[in-house]
Structure 1
């Protein structure tokens, strides 16, 4: 029996990553040529920090309030590919509602557009809104979930509130209840923190309720 188990473990190490995770609509693979071409000039531009080999193309299943399974796709850093597959499997098993998971390239990498569409996505080579600093999205190490209902909230030098997307302003009041809302302690929050992510909803000077990011050690 011990020899059988050792042989099984050895055989598992020979299975490619993408095949090992190809289970019921959940897959991870190197960026296909067709997807890579689609990304050019949109979510991907030539840069010294992130290359094609650093990224992975994921397909995941998710539920929405129509009680139907939907196939989603996203690009992420290879460092978090298996983590995201595990998280999305658990969210799917629990019927956790996510409205859509499409490539940001479908929205021409326009963050405001895809947030207004409540699209959940990960990789996009861009800066943090209102700054010149590269976002963790630029490395594929951050993901936004149901962004319309979990907006990014900051304040300008005059103390005026800025909500992104602009149509997410009704959801800036986190004391209210509504669909797709991410709250501290809910399943989405717990799963991402379990896998080593931090939550933008816990930031002090600004809030990014849609945002989970991973900091490699």
Structure 2
């Protein structure tokens, strides 16, 4: 059976699980009606087609389905896992350390005081271990240290390591066609895992 991308309103059991994890009543989080539960096909690290789930803003849900369908159909990129951050109690660090691809999480920017693009439902992080956030001597997640410089990333890619986002690959191209920006080109930091509709 061929798996296809789909979308639906957030099911009641998922919404209940989000409370106090990725959604908080006291943080000005998006209302439920603005969020969509998306099911997406992807190739896992073993090369099998499986289904993953993300929550994104209603306005970008169709684009996200098109993007991940393109990535999957290319057969050229693998994702280790794709689960809601609620499976990690809404803890972004735990999700990243487990190399989980995720999207919505009502949280502030790293080290900032404003709502992140994840909190607005318009950002996705892909394979955080192979595509870490890097600023100066900091790497997040810490187990992404073997992929935190262009030289290390290129060497691992040439060895055939799975899940590394590269500048000219299908992942960057598919997101770019929908106007999304890649954090791998940020100047004050590198956020190789990060794609966002607003470029933030």
Q: Calculate the TM-score normalised by the size of structure 1.
A: 0.83
Cα drift, residue 129 of structure 1: 1.3
Which residue number corresponds to residue 143 of structure 2?
Answer: 167
Which residue number corresponds to residue 100 of structure 1?
Answer: 81
The secondary structure found in structure 1 opposite 2:14 is: helix
Runs of 4+ in 1 over 2 A off after TM superposition: 176-179
Note the alpha carbon deviations across 1:146-197, whole angstroms, 9 max, x for none: 1111000113xxxxx1110011111102213232111111100000011110
Which residue number corresponds to residue 198 of structure 2?
Answer: 215
Instruction: Choose between structure 1 and 2 for higher RCO, CA contacts under 8 A separated by at least 6 residues.
Output: 2
**C-alpha distance in structure 2 between counterparts of 1:110 and 1:49, whole Å:** 16
**C-alpha distance in structure 2 between counterparts of 1:123 and 1:49, whole Å:** 10
Q: Does 1:148 align with 2:129?
A: yes
Which residue number corresponds to residue 8 of structure 1?
Answer: none
Which residue number corresponds to residue 78 of structure 1?
Answer: 58
Cα drift, residue 48 of structure 1: 3.2
**C-alpha distance in structure 1 between counterparts of 2:168 and 2:4, whole Å:** 27
Note the alpha carbon deviations across 1:106-152, whole angstroms, 9 max, x for none: 01111111111111010001111122221100011100011111000
- Structure 1 residue runs of 5 or longer lacking an equivalent are 1-22, 156-160
8 Å contact from structure 2 (residues 134, 140) kept in 1? yes
Cα drift, residue 49 of structure 1: 5.0
**C-alpha distance in structure 2 between counterparts of 1:39 and 1:183, whole Å:** 32
**C-alpha distance in structure 2 between counterparts of 1:208 and 1:190, whole Å:** 17
Which residue number corresponds to residue 201 of structure 1?
Answer: 184
Note the alpha carbon deviations across 1:51-100, whole angstroms, 9 max, x for none: 10110000111102312111101100011100010011111112220111
Which residue number corresponds to residue 125 of structure 1?
Answer: 106
Q: Calculate the TM-score normalised by the size of structure 2.
A: 0.90
Kindly report the root-mean-square deviation, in angstroms, between the aligned alpha carbons of the 2 structures: 1.5
Which structure: larger Rg? 1
Which residue number corresponds to residue 33 of structure 2?
Answer: 53
8 Å contact from structure 2 (residues 23, 29) kept in 1? no
The secondary structure found in structure 2 opposite 1:139 is: coil
Which residue number corresponds to residue 69 of structure 2?
Answer: 89
Query: Paired residues, what number?
Result: 189
